[in-house]
Chains A and B, each alone.
Chain A
Amino acid sequence: MTTAETSDLLNLRSVVLSNLQHQHYWTDIKLLDTQVDIDENTQNDPLPRPMIYGRPPEQLYNPEPASSTNEASSSEKPPADKEYVLPVHLTEKLTLRTWASVFDNLPTPSGAAEGGEGGGDAKKKRIVVAVVSGDSTVVYYIMHDGIVKPRQN
């Protein structure tokens, strides 16, 4: 299996970009190609895979139970967290090494300074995997780096 050329990966990303923007109304979008795009204080090395960083219109899956945050009425909801999106194609098979290197290049979410279990789950690194298939459907999965207790609902 040949390794994906950069242009193919960029094509893949532009499909996901269009989908996020126009079908799902994501905002504050930034394209990530090198490490510097994520963190200014790093090298200019290319990322293992080109990615997207953006804000969904509503907060995506929150591992905390729904009841803990529902007191705010809908008009007071804070803006949703930004997410890292990784485009992949349905027919690709990624190795564990690739997944690991994608996560390694991401910053740990804020507030995870205190280790331990407690607030650990919500502060695990996570990405949104965007699976592109030939009929134009993009299927999205949330992937955490490590085990996260599933939410009851």
Chain B
Amino acid sequence: MADTSANGAATAAATAAIGSPLNKPPHSAKPKRPNYNVIHADPLPVVLYHSPTLIPHNPISLLHHLYLYFFPPVQSHKVTYIGVFSPVTMSVEIRDPTAVLDLWNKGFWGKGSLSRSEPTWLNREMRRLGDTQVGETSEEITRRRRDQRKEMKKERARKEKEELQKIKEAEAKNNEDTGSVSNGKPIIADSKVVVELETEIKGLDETVTEPSHPSVPTEEAGLPTPPPSSDELNTSDGESKTDIVNIGSETLPVSVPPTSDSPPAQPAKVVRFDSNTSTKEIPVEKKVIVQNQEHLQLMLSEAFFLAYALGVLSVTTADSPKPLSLPEIFKLFLRHSIFPPLPESSISLTNFNPDNSFLINYVVYHHFRSLGWVVKSGVKFSVDYLLYKRGPVFSHAEFAILIIPSYSRWEGKEENVGREWYWLHSITRVNSQVKKTVVLVYVDVPTADEVKGWDCETDGLKTVLGKYRIREVALRRWIPGRNRE
């Protein structure tokens, strides 16, 4: 007995000794909030030129500085990103992981095609299959909160049903006793329980006001989500044979257990899947290799801004690696302003029709972007765009943009199709529930005559864009009872 226990103790001690380094995964110490100010320091994916420090009393430094001031090295456009126009998604897709990261970090361009905003599909998939190194994503946090809420609602419904049942039984009994439907002492339902549940549910509700906000700062938003690095994506080389969990585009992802004996999501045995499996002591962790099914999807407005205004994006099609020219991109986007896309023949640059929804939307996009706002799609709030001050990770969008085309300069066209009031009221209500201010952006469209000849002038497109007049009108619901002060 004594032996066993001594052994047991020894073993325990031994385990404990090796245990600490064993149990502590090397990467994460304390979950740290990512420093968004550093990650998103650059508002544009364009390189800034930093003049070297000036040492005023050093004549060489002074001269150097002067020289650089007048003849700066051309720096800004070091990188050109490549995107592919897809007629399937009617957008421009970015697949190169470095480009995806760059574009998201430097201005929040695009959206993960399988995520709520930031592309996190790869991390989610890896975690789903048991990887322990990857940090929790915002989708998972939101999911957990929603499940909590659902449970509470079930609980509330059950309690309400119970109470109702009690009342009905009591009333039935009453009827038996007195032989008639009695208006006797009314039985007050135990509404306290229900009210408490209500408050809890509301509490949960209030913390989720914006689905696109990646990390609401709660305690759970701990682990940073490391970007998908390139070595995790090259899986098809065959080195790790069946060890690789490969999700191709055809197979359906039912929960696929990794080929080792340990079930997923339990960091029990050590399973390393990359080709550099070392034989020495490995910490308890799991790494999963998955082929990334997600791409960064750029709205047409975003892609055009990057390509035309900034000049950092080149666009190809699936057919050919040769980048499209800007006029070609322009025509392509004009056609795909609606579904189904307009035929090629309907778009002419020479006889140009400025009444095209891609261009009207682009004018607004460019207007707000050039003022420093981060502009994202507003589809989740039934508006056209959302404006963020620095980006979705810093704050909720304050403004919800509705584009109202106006045709005051057109002959014979009704100036405004004039939306019905109830349309406006429903959108305002939806947005005030999530504390956003709706802004109507009237865009007065130039006539075809006004823009004639643009395709032969320098900066012709810029001139065309300038002919759209813009006027913003912010809306707020006004309640007499609340504005007395």
A and B held together in a complex: yes
Min Cβ gap B244→A in Å is 18
Complex interface: chain B residues within 8 A of A22 (CB): 114, 121, 253, 293-294
Asked if A136 and B340 sit within 8 Å, CB to CB, the answer is no
Asked if B340 and A8 sit within 8 Å, CB to CB, the answer is yes
Complex interface: chain A residues within 8 A of B338 (CB): 1, 91
Asked if A11 and B154 sit within 8 Å, CB to CB, the answer is no
Most chain A Cβ neighbours within 10 Å, of B88, B90, B156, B340: B340
Say yes or no: is A89 at the interface (Cβ < 8 Å to chain B).
yes
Asked if B111 and A137 sit within 8 Å, CB to CB, the answer is yes
Say yes or no: is A65 at the interface (Cβ < 8 Å to chain B).
yes
Say yes or no: is A45 at the interface (Cβ < 8 Å to chain B).
no
Complex Cα–Cα for A90 and B384 (A): 11
CB-CB nearest in chain A for B295: A136
Within 8 A of B (CB), among A54-95: 65-67, 70, 89-92
Complex Cα–Cα for A91 and B403 (A): 14
Chain B binder among A12-20, A32-40, A117-125: A12-20
Complex interface: chain B residues within 8 A of A11 (CB): 87-89
Q: B-facing mask of A115-141, CB < 8 A → 1, else 0?
A: 000000000000000010111110100
Say yes or no: is B6 at the interface (Cβ < 8 Å to chain A).
no
Complex Cα–Cα for A12 and B86 (A): 12
Q: B157 is contacted by which of A2, A19, A152 (Cβ under 8 Å)?
A: A152
Asked if A8 and B341 sit within 8 Å, CB to CB, the answer is yes
Asked if A153 and B156 sit within 8 Å, CB to CB, the answer is yes
Asked if B377 and A133 sit within 8 Å, CB to CB, the answer is yes
Complex interface: chain A residues within 8 A of B252 (CB): 21, 27-29
Min Cβ gap A76→B in Å is 15
Complex interface: chain A residues within 8 A of B342 (CB): 2
Contacts A21-B252, A27-B252 known; A137 to B158 CB distance under 8 Å?
A: no
Complex interface: chain B residues within 8 A of A66 (CB): 153-154, 157-158
Q: B154 is contacted by which of A2, A3, A67, A92 (Cβ under 8 Å)?
A: A67
Q: A-facing mask of B114-135, CB < 8 A → 1, else 0?
A: 1100000100000000000000
Say yes or no: is A23 at the interface (Cβ < 8 Å to chain B).
yes
Asked if A135 and B91 sit within 8 Å, CB to CB, the answer is yes
Asked if A136 and B113 sit within 8 Å, CB to CB, the answer is yes
Say yes or no: is A25 at the interface (Cβ < 8 Å to chain B).
yes
Complex interface: chain A residues within 8 A of B253 (CB): 21-22, 25
Min Cβ gap B254→A in Å is 6
Say yes or no: is A4 at the interface (Cβ < 8 Å to chain B).
yes
Contacts A65-B157, A66-B157, A70-B158 known; A15 to B380 CB distance under 8 Å?
A: no
Asked if A4 and B339 sit within 8 Å, CB to CB, the answer is yes
Complex Cα–Cα for A130 and B90 (A): 16
Say yes or no: is B300 at the interface (Cβ < 8 Å to chain A).
yes
Complex Cα–Cα for A27 and B341 (A): 31
Contacts A136-B111, A152-B157 known; A4 to B377 CB distance under 8 Å?
A: no
Complex Cα–Cα for A2 and B339 (A): 9
Say yes or no: is B161 at the interface (Cβ < 8 Å to chain A).
yes
Asked if A135 and B157 sit within 8 Å, CB to CB, the answer is no
Say yes or no: is B441 at the interface (Cβ < 8 Å to chain A).
no
Asked if B340 and A90 sit within 8 Å, CB to CB, the answer is no
Complex Cα–Cα for A152 and B340 (A): 39
Contacts A18-B293, A135-B377 known; A12 to B121 CB distance under 8 Å?
A: no
Complex interface: chain A residues within 8 A of B376 (CB): 135
CB-CB nearest in chain A for B212: A137
Say yes or no: is B299 at the interface (Cβ < 8 Å to chain A).
yes
Complex Cα–Cα for A113 and B380 (A): 38
Say yes or no: is B112 at the interface (Cβ < 8 Å to chain A).
yes
Q: A-facing mask of B227-258, CB < 8 A → 1, else 0?
A: 00000000000000000000001001110000
Contacts A23-B114, A23-B121 known; A137 to B380 CB distance under 8 Å?
A: yes
Within 8 A of A (CB), among B292-315: 293-294, 297, 299-300
CB-CB nearest in chain A for B149: A153
CB-CB nearest in chain B for A153: B153
Min Cβ gap B230→A in Å is 20
Q: B339 is contacted by which of A28, A92, A152 (Cβ under 8 Å)?
A: A92
Min Cβ gap A29→B in Å is 6
Say yes or no: is B379 at the interface (Cβ < 8 Å to chain A).
yes
Complex Cα–Cα for A11 and B88 (A): 5
Complex interface: chain B residues within 8 A of A3 (CB): 340
Min Cβ gap B217→A in Å is 24
Complex Cα–Cα for A31 and B341 (A): 23
Most chain B Cβ neighbours within 10 Å, of A23, A27, A65, A90: A23
Subset of 8 A-B contacts with CB under 8 Å: A12-B339, A23-B114, A90-B339, A135-B297, A135-B376, A136-B111, A139-B379, A152-B157
Instruction: Give me 13 other A-B pairs in contact (C-beta within 8 A), A66-B157, A136-B91, A136-B297 excluded.
Output: A1-B338, A15-B88, A18-B113, A18-B114, A27-B252, A66-B158, A70-B154, A70-B157, A91-B338, A135-B91, A135-B376, A136-B113, A137-B111
